[in-house]
Structure 1
Amino acid sequence: MTDLAVKTLRGGYPNAEEIVKGIDIEVAAGDLTVIIGPNGAGKSTFLKLVAGLLKPTDGEVRLQGEPLPLGNAQLACGMGMSFVPQERNVFSSLTVRENLEMGGYLLRRGMKDRIDEQVWRFPLLKSKLREKAGNLSGGQRQVLAMGIALMTNPSVLLLDEPTAGLSPNAADEIFELVRNLAKSGLAVLMVEQNALLALEYGTKGLALVAGRKVREAAAAAMLADDEVRHLFLGRRDANQIQKGEYHAQA
């Protein structure tokens, strides 16, 4: 079953030029779909439109077959979607436990069980529960941010550049954790600048350029695609793609 279905989504920021220009995608439980593209391609904007943090001008988002109210992040969360932003994704002045409690603010019961589940899922949090989140390393903060997002037991997890600013070793650890989350049954949609490495961990890839989908395929196929590798190794630029020198395949 498709957990997340996005149809012809369009939009951007209020009173600004449209950034996302009609994108379709489906993500099923167990999928780790990686969104890649050059700077300014609209990757993070697309993720915010899906999450309800921005209101689309057109299109549809369905979660397990049910239409989501567009532009309403709180209702989207209540229906089973969680979003981890790239920045300001933890409360630095609060302890790790308090951060997890904030993630579960919609819960009516079972807070302790949900915290215990995150500690089991991310063992490094166990010894940090009383520590201020602001004292954690960059990688530890990203793990905590994912724990916060998972407190509501979502079916779909959206991640915006979870390895930004991390060392190569820390990035590998985060990608491994994300892959394991997908394997556990979550549908994961992730934006990443570290395109080639992310595709090594993903199950499917989606390439965006200038707000449009130019390629969608299994991650292994995209990783083996010379055009994709050339683009993200810096040997081609987005202008070449827009002029038709990159052949889109959907």
Structure 2
Amino acid sequence: MLELKNISWEIPDGDKILKGIDLEIPDGKMTVITGPNGGGKTSLAKIIAGLEVPNSGEILLDGENITDWDITKRAKNGIAYAFQQPVRFKGVTVRDLLNLAAERTLSEREICSVLGEVGLCARDYIERDVDASLSGGESKRIEIATVLSRENAKILVFDEPEAGIDLWSFTSLIDAFQKLKNESGKSLLVISHQERILEIADYIVVIADGNVRAFGEGKDVLPQLLKEEKESKCPLGKDKKGENN
């Protein structure tokens, strides 16, 4: 289990983004973190992954304090993170990247399967370089595929996985999440305001103004979110000016 205890974090100018977050991420379940813009969702994901260090509080993985671990050590111990803006690598093929993520040589069949789960035809991508020749959506899907290929991962963290993905690929992504949460036994932690992703969540966490505003089973939390959205006429994940998070 992943536990966050009194996590606070502020940016250099002193603006506090997270204000004492207490949260337990259930094992083997799909937990979606949602909420209004600027509430701290992505900051929390980066702190879990080890990209940022909290100013105070503790992060526990299966009871062990990992607060001071960097992203590499966390990855080796089972936390996999898909960047919101994927990194590109000149001279590294999709095959190379998936093999690095899996820490072994994947078979053609395995590569085809993991790329298919994110809506990519392996025949067209397996030998392509992960560089600027890829569109933003293609890079995003390949980034997600690297997380899916991580066999040792216990917690899969996805930061707005729907960003830059077309409708057909988004449907494939929903199917991949459904399969993962039903068959893998891994914990999925997804940052998203997409209703279709919220609909398949086992648990939903609402982060607003740096605090946990709500936490519970998806079937209980989502109806309340949709009611609030309807009353405010403000789509999930947008403020009243319509600005994206």
TM-score (norm 2): 0.81
Counterpart in the other structure of 2:161: 162
Match of 1:94 among 80, 83, 92: 92
Q: Deviations over 1:118-144 (max 9, x none)?
A: 543444463221123455565553332
Contact 1:12 1:49 in 2 (8 A): no
- Distance change in 2, residues 1:233/1:214 (3 Å): same
Give 2:128's aligned amino acid: E
Counterpart in the other structure of 1:132: 129
Counterpart in the other structure of 2:243: none
Contact 2:140 2:164 in 1 (8 A): no
Counterpart in the other structure of 1:57: 55
Partners of 2:107 and 2:218 lie apart in 1 by 32
1:69-84 aligned at under 5 Å gives the runs 69-70=67-68, 72-84=70-82
Partners of 1:120 and 1:170 lie apart in 2 by 14
Structure 2 alignment gaps of length 5 or more: 241-245
Output the aligned Cα RMSD: 2.8
Structure 1 alignment gaps of length 5 or more: 240-250
TM-aligned CA deviation for residue 177 of structure 1? 1.1
Partners of 1:136 and 1:74 lie apart in 2 by 26
Partners of 1:40 and 1:192 lie apart in 2 by 13
Give 1:147's aligned amino acid: A
Counterpart in the other structure of 1:199: 198
Contact 1:100 1:115 in 2 (8 A): no
Give the secondary-structure state (helix, strand or coil) at the position aligned to 2:220.
Answer: helix
Contact 2:60 2:67 in 1 (8 A): no
Give 1:187's aligned amino acid: S
Counterpart in the other structure of 1:245: none
Higher helix fraction (1 or 2): 1
Contact 1:34 1:204 in 2 (8 A): yes
Counterpart in the other structure of 1:242: none
Identity of aligned residues (%): 25
Partners of 1:202 and 1:191 lie apart in 2 by 11
Partners of 2:10 and 2:108 lie apart in 1 by 35
Partners of 1:186 and 1:170 lie apart in 2 by 22
TM-aligned CA deviation for residue 203 of structure 1? 1.0
Counterpart in the other structure of 1:243: none
Counterpart in the other structure of 1:185: 185
Partners of 2:232 and 2:196 lie apart in 1 by 11
1:146-157 aligned at under 5 Å gives the runs 146-149=144-147, 150-151=149-150, 153-157=152-156
1:91-130 aligned at under 5 Å gives the runs 91=89, 94-104=92-102, 107=103, 111-113=104-106, 117-123=110-116, 124=120, 126-127=122-123, 128-130=125-127
TM-score (norm 1): 0.79
TM-aligned CA deviation for residue 8 of structure 1? 1.6
Give the secondary-structure state (helix, strand or coil) at the position aligned to 1:9.
Answer: strand
- Distance change in 2, residues 1:97/1:162 (3 Å): same
- Distance change in 2, residues 1:29/1:23 (3 Å): same
